[in-house]
């Protein structure tokens, strides 16, 4: 409790633990609400990558995050004796997640690929409010004793109920390229020539296709951006990648822009020959400015070689037929 004066009159700022519990709970519910309404575009990129390592797509990862936030809100309100400590811990977790997302959005290439100031607004607000709760010192609130068994039962009920609610939420599978649509931009340049020596996150590509980071984080990988109607794309897979290779092979399909006529190519020549490939696809909608085929060779997440013409420079001589 503290005193302040205004015009010779004093008043008390009675900030108690109950206020902190309620405030943090409202912060978590508000964050969950914004994330649910915004869809997967509001999922922190690094959390999405962690989810992919456990076999969760972006929709399921967002549901888990919303469930945990609602669970934290429930525990802040339901645990009387230790509710303030739980609230402080939830505020610390919210600050950490927001700070990590801001760092990811400020990584080299992030803003240039459409993150923009609007994407930073929510994590910045959550971080600022969470810090206020972390530094403010509430006065103790009178609360009835709560047994350890009651704490455990309340925690289990809150977790089960909130995760069940989150699992049934209709989450829209949006993408982080919506900033381009808001700006009226219909073409996205992936700046292929600048990739060498960078990760997909640093190059800005992972913002459009987050799974690329998780799939290439460890070991050796070959990523091929292709179009199924491109004859040279088929040639790359047939000559260099069809036979067994030790690297993980990731085939990323580059779709035509919605409503656009496809450029003349080799017609409908079927699917690529790559039964062991990890198949990914860039989001439909914009025109993706990247030559097909384009090849990137990675080691432990770092792009070591790129080629869109001389594929031997990155893939070596093709095996003899």
Report if residue 173 sits inside a domain.
no
Report if residue 97 sits inside a domain.
yes
- pTM, 2 dp: 0.59
CATH number at residue 209: 3.40.30
Per-residue pLDDT of the chain (321 residues; tens, 9 = 90+): 444 444 444 334 456 888 889 999 999 999 999 888 888 777 877 777 777 677 777 788 889 999 999 999 999 998 877 888 999 999 999 999 888 877 766 654 444 333 445 567 888 899 999 999 898 888 876 666 778 888 899 999 999 999 999 999 888 766 544 444 444 447 788 889 889 999 988 888 887 888 888 889 889 999 999 998 888 999 999 989 877 788 999 999 998 766 555 544 555 677 888 888 899 999 887 888 899 999 999 999 999 999 998 999 999 988 776
* 3 state SS of 123: helix
Residue 96 contacts residue 127 (beta carbons within 8 Å): no
Rounded to whole angstroms, how far apart are CA atoms 293 and 215?
19
Rounded to whole angstroms, how far apart are CA atoms 259 and 181?
15
**201 & 130 share domain:** no
Report if residue 177 sits inside a domain.
no
**62 & 35 share domain:** yes
Structural domain total, the chain: 2
**119 & 217 share domain:** no
pLDDT value at position 221?
Answer: 94
* 3 state SS of 183: coil
Rounded to whole angstroms, how far apart are CA atoms 224 and 246?
16
pLDDT value at position 182?
Answer: 44
Domain housing 123: 12-167
pLDDT value at position 71?
Answer: 96
């Amino acid at each position: 409790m503290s005193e302040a004066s205004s015009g010779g009159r004093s008043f008390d700022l009675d900030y108690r633990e109950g206020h902190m519990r309620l405030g943090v709970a409202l912060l978590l519910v508000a964050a969950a609400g914004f994330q649910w309404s915004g869809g997967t575009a509001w999922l922190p990129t690094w959390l999405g990558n962690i989810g992919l390592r456990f076999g969760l797509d972006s929709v399921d990862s967002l549901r888990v995050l919303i469930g945990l936030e609602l669970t934290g809100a429930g525990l802040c309100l339901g645990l009387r004796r230790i509710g303030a400590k739980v609230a402080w811990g939830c505020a610390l977790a919210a600050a950490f997640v927001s700070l990590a997302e801001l760092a990811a959005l400020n990584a080299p290439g992030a803003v240039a690929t459409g993150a923009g100031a609007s994407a930073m607004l929510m994590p910045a607000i959550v971080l600022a409010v969470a810090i206020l709760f972390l530094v403010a010192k509430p006065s103790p609130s009178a609360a009835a004793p709560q047994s350890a068994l009651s704490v455990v039962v309340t925690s289990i009920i809150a977790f089960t109920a909130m995760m069940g609610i989150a699992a049934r939420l209709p989450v829209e599978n949006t993408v982080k390229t919506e900033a381009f649509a808001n700006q009226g931009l219909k073409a996205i340049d992936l700046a292929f020539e600048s990739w060498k020596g960078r990760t997909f996150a640093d190059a800005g590509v992972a913002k459009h296709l987050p799974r690329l980071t998780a799939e290439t984080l460890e070991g050796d990988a070959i990523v091929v951006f292709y179009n199924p109607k491109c004859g040279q794309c088929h040639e790359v897979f047939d000559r260099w990648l069809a036979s067994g290779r030790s690297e993980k092979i990731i085939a990323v399909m580059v779709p035509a822009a919605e409503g656009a006529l496809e450029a003349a190519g080799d017609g409908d020549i079927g699917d690529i020959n790559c039964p062991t490939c990890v198949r990914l696809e860039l989001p439909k909608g914009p025109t993706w400015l990247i030559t097909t085929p384009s090849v990137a060779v990675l080691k432990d997440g770092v792009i070591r070689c790129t080629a869109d013409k001389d594929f031997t420079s990155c893939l070596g001589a093709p095996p003899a037929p």
